[in-house]
Amino acid sequence: MPKPIYVLNGPNLNLLGQREPEVYGHATLDDVKDRVAARAEQFSLPIEFYQSNKEGELVDWIQEARAKACGLIINAGAYTHTSVAILDALLAADIPCVEVHLSNIFKREEFRHHSYISTACVGVICGFGVKSYELAVEALAERLETKRG
């Protein structure tokens, strides 16, 4: 059994599908999980899917991922724009990480244009709704395969 991809979701993403559908779409976080799992399954990769409103809990999962995961996908929510703690955890993780966002953060307020965590990631995907996560699975799977070969 291959190691899973950890998929981490930050603050307020538990509210997906309940508020601001014009920005974040109608899918719930459970829908996101199902679509990510289905895409990962096509590459025979299991997933561990988590959401937390607490910065420290996200840091704990990133630390855990170092030993237990083959790669990591993270939508850090608003912590994207504030968290040196999440950046440091990702830099220490030593596994490929992809940053994702549902919305196109560059079309939004100025404060969303800067991400603290991008420099620790192999790539950033934003603006495609739930598809951003599926594209991240695809990119990660391709990269892992390349590494194996």
Report if residue 19 touches ligand CA2, rule: CB under 6 A.
yes
Q: Is 91 in the site for ligand CA2 (CB under 6 A)?
A: no
Q: Tell me if 16 contacts ligand CA2 by CB under 6 A.
A: yes
Q: Which of residues 33, 75, 121, 133 is near ligand CA2 by CB under 6 A?
A: 75
Q: Which of 102, 120, 125, 141 binds ligand CA2 (CB under 6 A)?
A: 102
Query: Is 78 near ligand CA2 (CB under 6 A)?
Result: yes
Residue 8 has phi, psi (to 5 degrees) of -110, 135
Rounded-to-integer distance, Cα 144 and Cα 15, Å? 32
Please give the span between the terminal C-alpha atoms of the chain, in angstroms, as a whole number.
18
Nearest-5° Cα angle at 87, 83 to 90: 140
Does residue 20 belong to the site contacting ligand CA2 (CB under 6 A)? yes
